[in-house]
Amino acid sequence: MNYRHAYHAGNFADVVKHAVLCRVLMHLRGKPAAFRVIDTHAGAGCYDLGGAEAGKTQEWRNGIGRLLHGKIDPPVRALLAPYLDRVTALNPGGGLATYPGSPVLVQALLRGQDRFIACELEPQAAGALERHLRGDARAKAVAIDGWKALLAYVPPKERRGLVLIDPPFERPDEFSRLAQGLAAAHRKWPSGSYLMWYPIKDAAEVAAFAKRLSRLRIAKILRVELVLPPADGDTGLLGSGLIAVNPPWTLHDELKVLLPALAQVLSRGAAPRLTLDWLAGESVS
């Protein structure tokens, strides 16, 4: 499949991914030492929901559109605040016309001492990314292949940080590249945190990917998956997953509160399937 960010900006998978990303960043902000974020497949940075790509698919209506207008309990809303605050800041009129990609969310949560490298190879997206980050001394846009960037920029000089790996899944071997890339990067920077996104289209392929990760001898690997039953005539993405390596110690308990609430808001009638478990470390089932 081809999962270019612009066509799917703000959909249910983005909502879950970006909510989790912001929770990890908030944990990194909790200590005074500087951290670095490396986004290997950053995309354009920000998206016009009425533009040619997002406007064509309209997937945001069943994602961020549902969340902004959904009923959310205060404890869940508090966990979502770092994410939703940025969404609403980009839409001051109260509507929903612009959606922040991961680079804009990361940039909003950087402190003065933190640094950010956002990587994107596709020329149009790379140009937009550079424009969004221009003038911010903490952030740098680099036109480079994300898989090369994964190894080129780890370990960073800061001892703390996060690598976000969110490829477009244009090639059939992308799951293998994810596993291989993680293994190689982790060997170079075993103390770093990693957050990897993947689509759920083929259950057997996803299961094989999880099994491969569990054999990498990495101490802590947390898995998050959300699969939504299809609505009538729905041919889009129905499921997505995240792998968090060396996650903050608070993340699992936060997601136990956050994910069921998100699943309820984002579901389109039938019960969604939600997975939150450890592939390695903590309590592996």
H helical segments located in 110-245: 123-133, 146-152, 174-188, 203-214
**Within a 13 Å sphere around the CA of 12, how many CA atoms are in the beta-carbon half?**
27
Strand positions, DSSP E, 27-120: 35-39, 46-48, 98-100, 115-119
Q: 107 is written with which tokens?
A: 């940039």
Q: Rounded distance, CA 195 to CA 224, Å?
A: 11
- Cα dist from 44 to 38, 93, 126, whole Å: 15, 23, 6
The sign one gets for the Cα dihedral 82, 241, 12, 181 is positive
Name the strands in the sheet holding 35-39, side by side, starting at the edge strand that comes first in the sequence.
139-142, 115-119, 35-39, 160-165, 193-199, 239-245, 221-227, 273-280
Asked whether 39 and 103 are in contact (CB, 8 A), the reply is: yes
Considering 145, 166, 234, 277, which one is annotated as catalytic? Answer: 166
Summary count for the chain: helices (H), strands (E) = 11, 10
39 in active site: no
The set of long-range contacts for 121-129, using a CB threshold of 8 Å and a minimum separation of 24, is 121/145, 121/146, 122/4, 124/44, 125/5, 125/6, 125/42, 125/43, 125/44, 128/44, 128/45, 128/46, 129/42, 129/43, 129/44, 129/45, 129/103
Just list the catalytic residues.
166
